[in-house]
Chains A and B, each alone.
Chain A
Amino acid sequence: MDRTFASLAASAQSGDPAAAEALFSLLYAELHRLAKRELGRQQGQQQEHITLGATTLLHEAYMDMSERDGTTFPDRARFMGYAARVMRGLIIEHARHRRALKRGGGFEITSLQTDAEAAVVDAPALSRLSDALDELAALDTTLANIVDLKFFCGFSFAEIAAMQGVSVRTVQRNWEKARIYLHQALRADML
């Protein structure tokens, strides 16, 4: 890993598409690795149901990568923003391929507040949602980011507010706006 997250994030921010691409693959590889490790650990414990907290995963990715970089990231919120977007990709890809990452075991991504009876999400719907999110991100990155963090990664409003340094109410309002936008976009797609 030649370039650190921090330097890639800076270049990506200033519009370097290669850096953005590299950043995405870097985070993807990282989350993938952590997911595998977590699954491995849980398999080692002979648990019947293997679950993986997206929130935990992101936190771990942050810790791991900041350790490797040897410094803290200038902006933790930015890290989480990127990582949450990558997480979305990971989840959707998973749903799409339904392919296990680890031999012999099922692979499951759940949020922390999982209840066992959770509904199965179908991949096409998720993909459409993701496309709509990308559109929204082009209009207003903050809104799209909140959806990534909350819906895909399971962060609470309070956590997101702390991360972004804004009030909980602001996050909640942004979430509501994002949801309105997404629903309209999805409905337009269906027509």
Chain B
Amino acid sequence: MTEISRERWAVIARHLDAALDLPAGERAAWLASIAAQDEALAADLRRMLDEHEALERERFLEDELTAIRPDGPSPLAGTVLGAYTLFSEIGRGGMGTVWLARRTDGRFEGTAAIKLLNIALVGRAGEERFTREGNILASLTHPNIAHLVDAGVSATGQPYLVLEHVDGERIDRYCDARALDVEARLRLVLDVLDAVAHAHANLIVHRDIKPSNVLVRTDGRVKLLDFGIAKLLQPEAEPAPTVLTGEGATALTPEYAAPEQVTGGAITTATDVYALGVLIYVLLAGQHPAGEGLRSAADLVRSIVDRDPPPPSDVVTSPNTSVEVRAAAAVNRATTPDRLRLTLRGDLDTIVAKALKKDPAERYASVTALADDLRRYLRHEPISARPDTLRYRASRFVRRNRTAVALASIALLATIAGAVGTLVYAHSARAQRDFALRQLARADAINDLNTFVLMDAAPAGSTFTVNELLARARHIVERQHGEDEATRVNTLIAIGRQYWAQDEDAEAIEVLTEAHRLAQTLDDASMRARAQCALASALARTDAIRRAEPMVQAGLAVLPTTPEYLADRIFCLKCGTEIAQNRGAGDEAVARAEQALDLLRSAPFSSDIMELRLRMDVAESYRVAGNFPKAAAAFERAAGLLKALGRDDTQTAGTLFNNWALTLDLMGRPRDAEPIYRRGIEVSKADATERAVSPMLLLNYARVLENLGRPNEASDYAVRAYRKAAASHDEVIVTQALLMRNTIDRVRGDLAQSTADLDEVEPILRKKFPTDHPAIFAIVSGRALLAAARGDERGAMQLADQAVASLERTSPGSQRLALSLRLRADIELQFGRLDAAEADARKALDLLERATPPGLLTARVGKTALTLGRALAGQHRSAEARRALTLALTHLRDADGPDHPDVRQAASLLSSLQ
């Protein structure tokens, strides 16, 4: 059987397919018929089918692999290693399993912990060295070091370590459980430092200091575990493994690795100083220097190697830290977040920063020096470590505050309204102090403004809409003088972008024009570019769209290419993406958004919010480019990120759901789109009314309802969208609502109203868009269908030909061309031109099938197949018609749902043919 050839298996497999589809009772007769032709094949098949039935009964492979459990009774219990007998497994880690063992050679009483090391980590060649070095470690005795009693290799080649058994708790959990204050924590840390200093004096480096290796017994004694074992496991001949490569990966803990461990540099006592710095940081601040949450290894490495951690005093009250973590950190240290901040601020910040220097030479020269400074702090004496110089700090300040800047500026804009936040500022090493402080002042200004608008200016208990809050913010900014103008520009941009995100284009342009005017008077490339780009993007939604592109390009050109303007470049690229989208230049939009994302990835800062927005832009750009499957996938991913960021009930989520659903609708999946739109509307509602819901969303919902064959509901939503848009003078939505109403009216048979709608909207769109814009296509198609509905064959055909010809020229192979062909086929069908209808429908179907990924069932394929089926049925070509209608039904049932009028039409036509 194992020698079966590919050819033989192909034959068998083919026959098995047939046999498995037969009822079990009919297989015998079937086999007999095979046997008549090929005895050997029949024998094989019989054997296999018998086996199949047996396998069914025993459910072979059906649900066996539901779990792999490492626990449960292990055969190792009772194993004797040297003087010890293994008793029970008490832990397992990257290096192997740990067993509680009893001394059973009768000479001493007592227990020990025995670590059974993974053979792969030692290797047979390393056994001798393992034993030798183990003996050196065994000579290390200190009251705070868990003693290594023995190291050996069993007769079966299993390397093991016999260690003093410590019954204790991890130091971080011990401290938290007892709510030890900062001072008590530091006293425990000093015991740890003593132990490490002792080992260093014996030329032994720990290499893997982390909370789980520092236990505190119930009597309060600290015990350090696994001294030097990381080295013991490292093959002598090979270079030190970096943390993230190869098998060594499991032996070390990246979270506590020093930069030199990650980059493959020399491991020295300074490595332990760094790990102790991380340990102290965690014990003081309640979180890892790289921030809360779990991150990818790559991200962690970047943070270990590149990022200066924020001072512990900052993170305990930083809005960047989640409320729960902040509260828990304070409670576990018997204090409040603000008091904890004050305790840590200054000396402790300085001490930790010195221990955590990226360059080993800049850290404390020894563990003793670190311990000395902590003792000085506890005695309220001046410490030896100096805070960083102003210049160093200024650049670090900005980096550290980038997230704070981002958060401050979106406190109002994102948490409440969830719209576009101000970008954070990048900074290069040569950043100057003034620059840094100015950025900070700007961030503070926005922060103050938010606080003022939300807390002080809003009477308690009253509710405000976003627009009311924005109007208030604007009013305040207009009256504020005396602060620097760049700050005002920045604040105005934030407010303008917020208006923009609310679809309040007129206000957005007003505020951004003011920002732009002010910025022109400043010698500040960053502000000038931002104001220019933000204004350009706002203009792109209006009649002035032609001005937008040159403006954003000029904005980008103003920006120097140095790293400190990276964030401004990302911002301008984002604006450029929006403009390209509005121009209908999808590919360009995709390219810009991707470029912005690339820049963000390469940036020395990170902003989840910005990443989310750029991802949404990428998705939206794919949609504009007509690549719906890619767009849908990108939206789904962005929705995942949104959820991960806890923002799935914000305005951003409303936007995302809207755009995602629109993509699905355009992809021909209205049934999938409808519930996502509803989610979008629910999320944006904010209260029981639709006041906060974007008219665009209402309009899109109308469209999906129309696509789903629910014109009455669709009409209702289209009217609501129209009224909202008209009230806010949103011309884009007004025109789209008119186009929508035109379709609905036509479908409902109100041809006069439908014509009036088109008459109203056509001049506006003609003025605004070039002739190859989708909006113009919509006009022409609408007119064609109206003419057809009026029975004007010549007019309808002329317009339909015009649409097809224009698209054949501008976008051959596009789905829009397929749509125009299908519309023409429908018109031809109406006027009895069955041959032409068939030809157009076939062409359209061909285009669609080429553009539709396999397995994707869409309404557009379904509708086109339906048209083809009707054309064929009209020609009495029943067999072909049935095939086309079956295809139509497959697609339509899935994409539109079983109750859709098209489904009913296809089904009844099909049954009439049978």
Chain B residues with CB below 8 A from A143, complex form: 13
Within the complex, the shortest CB–CB distance from B729 to chain A, in Å, comes to 38
Chain B residues with CB below 8 A from A107, complex form: 70, 92
- Check: A3 CB closer than 8 A to any chain B CB: no
Q: How many angstroms between the C-alpha atoms of A188 and B855 in the bound complex?
A: 38
Q: How many angstroms between the C-alpha atoms of A165 and B618 in the bound complex?
A: 27
Q: How many angstroms between the C-alpha atoms of A151 and B65 in the bound complex?
A: 6
Which residue from chain A places its CB closest to the CB of B298 in the assembled complex?
A1
Interface pair B55/A179, CB less than 8 Å apart: yes
Interface pair A66/B633, CB less than 8 Å apart: yes
Contact with A along B593-628 (1 / 0, CB 8 A): 010011000000000000000010010000000000
Q: How many angstroms between the C-alpha atoms of A176 and B96 in the bound complex?
A: 39
- Check: A14 CB closer than 8 A to any chain B CB: no
Chain A residues with CB below 8 A from B93, complex form: 100, 102-104
Contact with A along B717-737 (1 / 0, CB 8 A): 000000000000000000000
- Check: A22 CB closer than 8 A to any chain B CB: no
Q: How many angstroms between the C-alpha atoms of A180 and B17 in the bound complex?
A: 12
Interface pair A188/B64, CB less than 8 Å apart: no
Within the complex, the shortest CB–CB distance from B94 to chain A, in Å, comes to 6
Which residue from chain B places its CB closest to the CB of A178 in the assembled complex?
B61
Which residue from chain A places its CB closest to the CB of B3 in the assembled complex?
A188
Question: Most chain-A CB neighbours within 10 Å: which of B63, B91, B212, B594?
Answer: B63
Chain B residues with CB below 8 A from A66, complex form: 633, 637
- Check: B2 CB closer than 8 A to any chain A CB: yes
- Check: A162 CB closer than 8 A to any chain B CB: yes
Contact with B along A134-173 (1 / 0, CB 8 A): 0100111001000100111000000000100100010001
Chain B residues with CB below 8 A from A135, complex form: 2
Question: Most chain-A CB neighbours within 10 Å: which of B17, B597, B598?
Answer: B17
Q: How many angstroms between the C-alpha atoms of A185 and B877 in the bound complex?
A: 51
Interface pair A147/B52, CB less than 8 Å apart: no
Interface pair A139/B855, CB less than 8 Å apart: no
Q: How many angstroms between the C-alpha atoms of A114 and B298 in the bound complex?
A: 32
Q: How many angstroms between the C-alpha atoms of A183 and B48 in the bound complex?
A: 10
Q: Among the listed B52, B118, B633, B634, which residue makes an inter-chain contact with A180, where contact means beta carbons less than 8 Å apart?
A: B52
Known: A100-B94, A101-B250, A113-B63. A184 touches B68 (CB 8 A): no
Q: How many angstroms between the C-alpha atoms of A87 and B287 in the bound complex?
A: 32
Interface pair B65/A103, CB less than 8 Å apart: no
- Check: A40 CB closer than 8 A to any chain B CB: yes
Contact with A along B561-605 (1 / 0, CB 8 A): 000000000000000000000000000000000100110000000
Known: A40-B294, A41-B294, A184-B51. A100 touches B61 (CB 8 A): no
Contacting residues of chain B (60-119) with chain A, CB-CB under 8 angstroms = 60-61, 63-72, 91-94, 96-97, 118
Within the complex, the shortest CB–CB distance from B383 to chain A, in Å, comes to 33
Interface pair A179/B67, CB less than 8 Å apart: no
Chain A residues with CB below 8 A from B637, complex form: 63, 66-67
Q: Among the listed A99, A118, A162, A179, which residue makes an inter-chain contact with B855, where contact means beta carbons less than 8 Å apart?
A: A162
- Check: B901 CB closer than 8 A to any chain A CB: no
Within the complex, the shortest CB–CB distance from A169 to chain B, in Å, comes to 8
Q: How many angstroms between the C-alpha atoms of A150 and B48 in the bound complex?
A: 21
Contacting residues of chain B (734-787) with chain A, CB-CB under 8 angstroms = none
Q: How many angstroms between the C-alpha atoms of A63 and B296 in the bound complex?
A: 14
Chain B residues with CB below 8 A from A177, complex form: 13, 16-17, 20
Chain A residues with CB below 8 A from B72, complex form: 120
Q: How many angstroms between the C-alpha atoms of A94 and B69 in the bound complex?
A: 10
Which residue from chain A places its CB closest to the CB of B213 in the assembled complex?
A103
Known: A101-B250, A180-B16. A94 touches B21 (CB 8 A): no
Interface pair A103/B253, CB less than 8 Å apart: yes
Interface pair A98/B66, CB less than 8 Å apart: no
Interface pair B633/A100, CB less than 8 Å apart: no
- Check: B40 CB closer than 8 A to any chain A CB: no
Chain A residues with CB below 8 A from B460, complex form: none
Q: Among the listed A111, A119, A139, A150, which residue makes an inter-chain contact with B9, where contact means beta carbons less than 8 Å apart?
A: A139
Q: Among the listed A99, A126, A183, which residue makes an inter-chain contact with B51, where contact means beta carbons less than 8 Å apart?
A: A183
Listed by A's residue number, 11 A-B pairs whose Cβ atoms lie within 8 Å are A72-B634, A94-B68, A100-B70, A109-B68, A120-B68, A120-B69, A139-B4, A151-B64, A165-B854, A173-B21, A180-B52
Q: State the A residues within 8 Å of B (CB).
A: 1, 33, 37, 40-41, 51, 63-64, 66-67, 70-72, 91, 94-95, 97-111, 113-115, 118-121, 126, 132, 135, 138-140, 143, 147, 150-152, 162, 165, 169, 173, 176-177, 179-185, 187-189
Knowing that A99-B96, A103-B93, A120-B68 touch, tell me 16 more A-B residue pairs with CB under 8 angstroms.
Answer: A33-B296, A37-B294, A41-B294, A70-B618, A72-B630, A97-B118, A102-B94, A104-B92, A105-B92, A107-B70, A108-B70, A114-B67, A150-B61, A177-B20, A179-B61, A188-B2
